[in-house]
Chain A
Amino acid sequence: MPNRGETLKLSETAPRAVITVIAMSGILVMAFILYFLTKEGIPILKDASITQLAAGRLWYPVSSPPLFGMMSLIGGSLAVTLTSSVLAIPLGVALALFLTEICPKRISGFFKITLEILGFLPSVVLGFIGMVVIAPYLQIKLELLSGLNLMNASMLLGVMILPTVATLSEESLHAVPQSQRDASYALGATRCETMFNVVLPGAARGIAQAAILGVMRAMGETMVVLMASGGAALLPESAFDPVRPLTSAIAAEMGETSVGSAHYHALFFMGFILLLITLSLNVLVIKIESRGEVK
């Protein structure tokens, strides 16, 4: 029956083709993102040179003539990312060590749920906590002009990236073979020595990946820095200076610009910078991962 064979064939190839085509929309979305961020961001180079953008400290996009110096914004992003990473990455690794090495199995489930809930907290809620709880506290305790500053935003960002770092580190600590721990104990090592000499080095690659992913999230987080970082476009000189990271500048100013203006393109250019940074960090993560596979 050649007829039946033919329809059978079509009923096989059709779903396959449809599914392949739909699956490719992921590539399409990614390509569109790259294309549109480039297309809307690059025109700013007509209004300001790349050195003016990168080295200019003054961000006055609506004055005349407008000044598009992004150095203080980029500096703000880096400062917030660095501070929150310093706060959260060691703590995240500590949590992971606790969960895999110390915590009894029976209650580790509870703590894992705690971490997961922490990760589900919407960023706007944390930003709100920064505004109504941490800011007044810092202001009174340290006698600052405003409690909305680098430290406030970094602490909250730390809370945001903590679950990511902890969960991913925990997975890689879990992957260290039990036999290596046994060997270490058999040599008379204490639990602390086993953790730091055997387990941590064994999971170093996974922990590095977790840390980079944490940094990536901190870099791109918007609502927390928008609400809690103070919003002053200055290079911070202390941990208690207000800052205006790239993400918060985009979020705060996009609503006030008209489509196609120089300011609009400048904001897209910032998005483009953020995109490049996260994509290169992503490539770094993939590199680390593939090196592990070869071994």
Chain B
Amino acid sequence: MKDTDHETRGEALLSALDNSGDACPIRPNYAVFRKFADWLATFLLCSSMIFVTVVLCAILFFLAAKGGGALSWEFVTEPPRNGMTEGGIITPIVGTLQLIFVSMCFAFPVGVVTAVYFNEYARGGTLKKSLRLAMRSLASIPSVVLGLFGLAFFCTFLRFGTSLLSAGLTLGCMVLPTIVTASETALANVPQDYRDAAYALGATEWQTIYGVVLPSAFPGIITGGILSVGRVAGETAPIMFTGAVFFAPGFARGVFDSVMALPYHVYVLATAGTNIEKTTPLQYGTILVLLAVVLGISMVGMAARSRLRKDVL
């Protein structure tokens, strides 16, 4: 926008002068009123942003203050004990990591391949349009509905049972559109020159994609992947009936075992316990660990992304 040359800008100004006379009526009599309205709008808009910032900080500080005391080395390295009223949360932590791993094993390759298809191979037509529509629809589906789908398809129809595999795949379906969008952006940002240069050297289409385009888009693709990992770690609804359980005596040893997960553990501690008072420190501690995992991963993704943007510009 900033580089608009002066001529077109001048023309725009002139045409605006011609057309929008009644859009901004200038009434000198109301000068004070207009100034006041302007000041008021500025004030309200500024305070809305300040309000939201304060709300976020209040939430984070409140949780940090309440949960800080519960954190200890034992808390993050020991399994829950005594009907989950004592002990730590290592089982749900490991469960969440396992869920992330399984979901990414499915969503990351499929997502990247889909993006490659969109950006490099698809030539328009019905197939591309339907895939685009499918991706957008998938992105809009409520997470609890995905949970129902996971229950009906992965758990029951494919007989995976309530397991790490079912829950991971359900989460994978949930983040697939995010990964596709991020990878597509990364692929689209690879300069056309790179492709031309590869072709000029006699590379074939696949050699160009595999040897030139994918490696240069890789940082962007990974960034998108990291950001979606943050989402996977914090979601509860899709795993509630597909694989996360109230309590598991140990880690899942295979993909067909059920797991404990951090977000579901927070929900269980907060609602289902008979000793809600007794587990209060555990609740805040678990939330703090969940927040650390989710926001930690997301911030790594954000930092990587802002570095990338600087490189591009």
Give chain A's interface residues, CB within 8 Å of chain B: 8, 11-12, 15-16, 19-20, 22-27, 29-33, 36-37, 39-40, 91, 94-95, 97-99, 101-103, 111, 113-118, 120-129, 131-133, 159, 162, 177-180, 182-184, 186-198, 213, 216, 219-223, 226-227, 247, 250-251, 254-255, 259, 267-268, 271, 274-275, 278-279, 281-282, 286
Q: How far is the CB of A206 from chain B (nearest CB, A)?
A: 16
From A29, A31, A103, A127, B176 is in contact (CB under 8 Å) with: A29
> Cβ of B151: which chain A residues have Cβ within 8 Å of it?
254
Contact A187 B141 (CB under 8 A): no
Residue of A with least CB distance to B153: A36
> Cβ of A125: which chain B residues have Cβ within 8 Å of it?
59, 63, 234, 266, 287, 290-291
Residue of A with least CB distance to B266: A124
B56 at the interface (CB under 8 A from A): yes
> If the complex has contacts A186-B13, A189-B24, A192-B42, are A247 and B52 also in contact, measured as CB distance less than 8 A?
no
From A26, A102, A113, B42 is in contact (CB under 8 Å) with: A102
In the assembly, what is the distance between CA of A60 and CA of B311, in Å? Answer: 59
> If the complex has contacts A22-B110, A187-B16, A227-B267, are A193 and B180 also in contact, measured as CB distance less than 8 A?
no
> Cβ of A114: which chain B residues have Cβ within 8 Å of it?
52-53, 56
B71 at the interface (CB under 8 A from A): no
Contact A222 B136 (CB under 8 A): no
From A12, A121, A194, A223, B206 is in contact (CB under 8 Å) with: A12
From B13, B206, B230, A11 is in contact (CB under 8 Å) with: B206
Contact B53 A111 (CB under 8 A): yes
B178 at the interface (CB under 8 A from A): no
> If the complex has contacts A124-B267, A127-B267, are A186 and B16 also in contact, measured as CB distance less than 8 A?
yes
Residue of A with least CB distance to B246: A255
Q: How far is the CB of B235 from chain A (nearest CB, A)?
A: 7
Q: How far is the CB of B181 from chain A (nearest CB, A)?
A: 12
> Cβ of A267: which chain B residues have Cβ within 8 Å of it?
148
Listed residue (A30, A122, A180, A193) with the most chain B CB atoms within 10 angstroms of its CB: A122
Residue of A with least CB distance to B151: A254
Q: How far is the CB of A198 from chain B (nearest CB, A)?
A: 7
Listed residue (B38, B49, B151, B271) with the most chain A CB atoms within 10 angstroms of its CB: B49
A-B pairs, 7 with minimum CB distance: A220-B142, A183-B16, A122-B234, A23-B117, A179-B12, A222-B237, A30-B134
> Cβ of A129: which chain B residues have Cβ within 8 Å of it?
59, 62-63
A23-B116, A183-B16, A190-B34 are known; give 18 further A-B pairs, CB within 8 A.
A23-B117, A30-B137, A32-B149, A33-B141, A36-B149, A98-B45, A99-B49, A116-B298, A117-B56, A117-B298, A121-B294, A129-B63, A179-B13, A192-B41, A223-B236, A250-B144, A251-B240, A275-B142
Contact A254 B59 (CB under 8 A): no
B35 at the interface (CB under 8 A from A): yes
> Cβ of B173: which chain A residues have Cβ within 8 Å of it?
29, 33
In the assembly, what is the distance between CA of A256 and CA of B287, in Å? Answer: 26
In the assembly, what is the distance between CA of A4 and CA of B298, in Å? Answer: 48
Residue of A with least CB distance to B42: A102
Chain B 255-291, CB-CB to A under 8 Å as 1, else 0, gives 0000000011011001100000000000100010011
From A29, A190, A286, B37 is in contact (CB under 8 Å) with: A190
> Cβ of A279: which chain B residues have Cβ within 8 Å of it?
137, 140
> Cβ of A40: which chain B residues have Cβ within 8 Å of it?
148, 152
In the assembly, what is the distance between CA of A176 and CA of B107, in Å? Answer: 36
> Cβ of B147: which chain A residues have Cβ within 8 Å of it?
250-251, 254
B118 at the interface (CB under 8 A from A): yes
Listed residue (A99, A186, A187, A191) with the most chain B CB atoms within 10 angstroms of its CB: A187
> If the complex has contacts A221-B142, A247-B142, are A26 and B135 also in contact, measured as CB distance less than 8 A?
yes
B29 at the interface (CB under 8 A from A): no
From A37, A102, A178, A179, B46 is in contact (CB under 8 Å) with: A102
In the assembly, what is the distance between CA of A73 and CA of B241, in Å? Answer: 20
Contact A219 B142 (CB under 8 A): yes
Contact B9 A182 (CB under 8 A): yes
From A19, A24, A278, A286, B141 is in contact (CB under 8 Å) with: A278
B73 at the interface (CB under 8 A from A): no
Residue of B with least CB distance to A225: B144
- In the complex, 6 of the A-B residue pairs with CB atoms within 8 angstroms, ordered by the A residue number, are A26-B138, A27-B134, A95-B45, A122-B233, A179-B4, A192-B41
Chain B 205-219, CB-CB to A under 8 Å as 1, else 0, gives 110011000000000
B146 at the interface (CB under 8 A from A): yes
Contact B142 A179 (CB under 8 A): no
Chain B 103-136, CB-CB to A under 8 Å as 1, else 0, gives 0000001100110111001000001001101111
Contact B302 A116 (CB under 8 A): yes
> Cβ of A177: which chain B residues have Cβ within 8 Å of it?
1, 4, 12
